[in-house]
Amino acid sequence: MSKNYFEIIRAGINSTFQDLGRKNLYHIGIPFSGAMDNRNYLLANKLIGNDHNDPVIEFAYQGPHLKYHGDKLNIAITGDVSFKIKKGDNLTDGKCYQTFILENNDELNIISTNKSVYGYLAISGTFDLKLQWSSCSTNTRANIGSNNGAKLSDNQKINIKQINQNLSITKLNYVNTKIENIRVIKGTNFNYFSDEGKRNFFKNEFKVSKLSDRMGMRLEGQKIENIIDTNIRSEGLIKGVIQVPADGNPIIMLSDHGTIGGYPKIGVVISADYDKLVQLTPGSNVKFQEVDLNSAETLFKLYELETQNLISQI
Amino acid sequence: MIKNISNLGDAALYCDFGKEVNKEINTQVIKYFKTIQKKNIIGVNNITPSYNKLIISFDLKKINFTKLKKIIDNIEIIKSDNIQNKKFEIPVCCEKEFSLDIKRLEEKLKMTEEKIYENFFENEFFCYMTGFIAGMPFLGDLDENLRAKRLDTPRVKVPKGSIGLTEQFANIYTFESPGGWNIIGNTPLNIFDSTKEKEPNLINPGDLVTFKRISKENYQNYHE
């Protein structure tokens, strides 16, 4: 048995191990997976002095309540998250983008994400995990990844293989900004939709449905009318693709999406806006704004610069 | 050959081989897939072949659409004799408990059960693509007489190993999964093994597949 471990008092709603995901497997039907919000994932690891591809715990809405057993351990939480740390009888509020030291018998209670979906917990050490196709990323629908492809469950243990001696306190001044518009490049089947449907797609707001998860985000709003065919020959998908099935309600493919799909693609969310897209909670409104490929590439460079700038401040 | 390359979003190439779906076009798609895979182009994350499309997704930090398109435009496709296609014979049990939709097919196709199976087991199939769920092979072409539409309401759970038919294709459910294909039997063979780091899927695009009918006894012994 491992000397250092977390005891899970409450696992939370959907807590899974994630890293940068696994590539080169779409052609056999295995999704990319990986952390949904890439920037917050990277920041969690960087704050703690880890490599950029180290496993973290991703949680959605309600996170895990953990009791720690072992030697001193440094932790960092990123996202927009409320959490508490209990040391003996002393209960303090935690802060995101800042490291905290856990000692034997301390408790970390990740209560909830605020107005966002995903948060990340990184530790100054290595989780004891079995990787699958070189990644810990857990896809619970396909039972792929660490923890036997399952989300964390109550009363289980999370073993820590090794603790880094890095116990320095690091802080970053960063606030997750909200996004009003999600920028989109027209999809390969854009002309399958009526003129009104196309206009409405970029003019109206859509509501994020409760039926959204790591696989996809379903939207509700004015139906988008298809005038050619509600099916296409099945073909490859990528994350960010917006498909419109026969019912006229768009579905956005997210990190655990099926690798092949047969619904017309009205658009694709640009890479620079993906992190913000996945953080939209059910019930919130989203509006799409059209951009071209050049702008999308420029916006991605800006996004990358901003991320690098944040990392350099750590 | 690729008819047109466009962008799918800002991080993927959409290579279009035309509208038609047949083995010749799909063989082209697979040749491109295998050639590009062998090239290990820096920044390419995934290459997804399907009936008549090839989608190449990439890391925008390392490469972009214009640069990758240039590489693909100028790629030299490996000769077909360098592509090895494997042959498989998949055992299938068609007992009542496994052939969930055979009665529906009898009605829709206006054919007897015996005829449907005779026709199905005589056919040699070609694997067009794998995916949707891990390792699921899309096999064609079914005889014209066996082509039926999907179920009106898809099943919430199709059992693992189920053999399904829809339009010109047959497939194998590698996991229990939702699905709307007409189920005519079940194979005891494991088509996808997630414990294998290399080649977890048995059947790959371009492979040839035939099905062999087995008795319930053989089916059960297969598990032992």
Can you list the positions of beta strands (E) in A125-167?
125-127, 157-163
Across the interface, which of B51, B60, B131 has its CB nearest the CB of A29? B131
Q: Is A302 on the interface with B (CB under 8 A)?
A: no
Domain A182-312, CATH class in plain words: mainly beta
pLDDT at B29 over 90: yes
In chain B, what residues touch A265 (CB-CB under 8 Å)?
8
- Residue B97: C-alpha distances to residues B102, B166, B185 (Å): 11, 20, 8
Which residues have CB under 8 Å from A107's CB, separation 6+?
A9, A65, A66, A67, A68, A85, A86
- What is the rounded average pLDDT for all residues in chain A? 95
In chain B, what residues touch A25 (CB-CB under 8 Å)?
46
How many A-B residue pairs are in contact by the CB < 8 A criterion?
A: 132
Picking from B33, B37, B48 by the largest number of A CB atoms within 10 A of its own CB, the best residue to mutate is: B48
- In chain B, the percentage of residues whose pLDDT exceeds 90 is 81
Cross-chain residue pair B9–A188, CB shorter than 8 Å: no
Of A281-295, B40-54, B142-156, the range with the lowest mean pLDDT is B142-156
Across the interface, which of A27, A132, A293 has its CB nearest the CB of B65? A293
Residue A17 pLDDT: 98
pLDDT at B82 over 70: no
Provide the pLDDT confidence category of residue B80 given band limits of 50, 70 and 90: low
Angle between the A38-47 and A293-312 helix axes, to the nearest 10 degrees? 20
pLDDT at B84 over 90: no
Q: Which residues pair with A124 in a beta bridge?
A: none
Residue A77 pLDDT: 98
Q: How far is A169 from chain B (nearest CA, A)?
A: 30
Residue B156 pLDDT: 83
| Integer Cα distance of A207 and A221 in angstroms | 6
Mean pLDDT of B114-131: 96
Q: Is A190 on the interface with B (CB under 8 A)?
A: no
Task: List residues of B whose CB lies inside 8 A of any A CB.
Answer: 6-12, 14, 21, 33, 37, 45-55, 57, 60-61, 64-65, 129-136, 138, 174-175, 192, 194, 197, 200-201, 204-205
Cross-chain residue pair A29–B134, CB shorter than 8 Å: yes
Across the interface, which of B21, B131, B194 has its CB nearest the CB of A260? B131
Cross-chain residue pair B201–A28, CB shorter than 8 Å: yes
Across the interface, which of A24, A258, A297 has its CB nearest the CB of B64? A297
Nearest alpha-carbon partner for A231 in B21, B17, B178 = B21
| Integer Cα distance of A298 and A67 in angstroms | 44
Q: In chain A, whose CA is at the least distance from the CA of B197?
A: A133
Q: How far is B55 from chain A (nearest CA, A)?
A: 6
Q: In chain B, whose CA is at the least distance from the CA of A21?
A: B45
Nearest alpha-carbon partner for A25 in B26, B29, B135, B83 = B135
Domain ranges of chain A: 5-163, 182-312
**What letter does residue B193 receive in the DSSP assignment?**
-
Q: Is A295 on the interface with B (CB under 8 A)?
A: no
Provide the pLDDT confidence category of residue B83 given band limits of 50, 70 and 90: low
Residue A178 pLDDT: 74
Own/partner pairs, B37-43, CB within 8 angstroms, 24+ separation: B37/A24, B38/B78, B39/B75, B41/B68, B41/B71, B43/B68
Residue A1 pLDDT: 53
List the structure tokens of A255: 């990190």
Residue A167 pLDDT: 84
Window 165-184 of A, Cβ < 8 Å to B: none
pLDDT digits (tens, 9 = 90+) for B160-218: 999 999 999 999 999 888 888 999 999 999 999 988 888 899 999 989 999 999 999 99
List the structure tokens of A297: 């590439």
pLDDT digits (tens, 9 = 90+) for A177-203: 877 799 999 999 999 999 999 999 999
| Integer Cα distance of B104 and A118 in angstroms | 45
**What pTM was estimated for this model as a whole?**
0.93
- The stretches in chain A having pLDDT less than 50 are none
List the structure tokens of A116: 């966002």
| Integer Cα distance of A227 and A191 in angstroms | 9
Q: Is A9 on the interface with B (CB under 8 A)?
A: no
Across the interface, which of A24, A133, A270 has its CB nearest the CB of B46? A24
Which residues have CB under 8 Å from B98's CB, separation 6+?
B159, B162, B183, B185, B186
Alpha helices in chain B (DSSP H): 23-39, 65-73, 102-109, 113-122, 216-222
pLDDT at B81 over 60: no
Q: Is A305 on the interface with B (CB under 8 A)?
A: no
Which amino acid, B110?
K
In chain A, what residues touch B201 (CB-CB under 8 Å)?
28-29
Q: Which residues pair with B164 in a beta bridge?
A: B171, B183
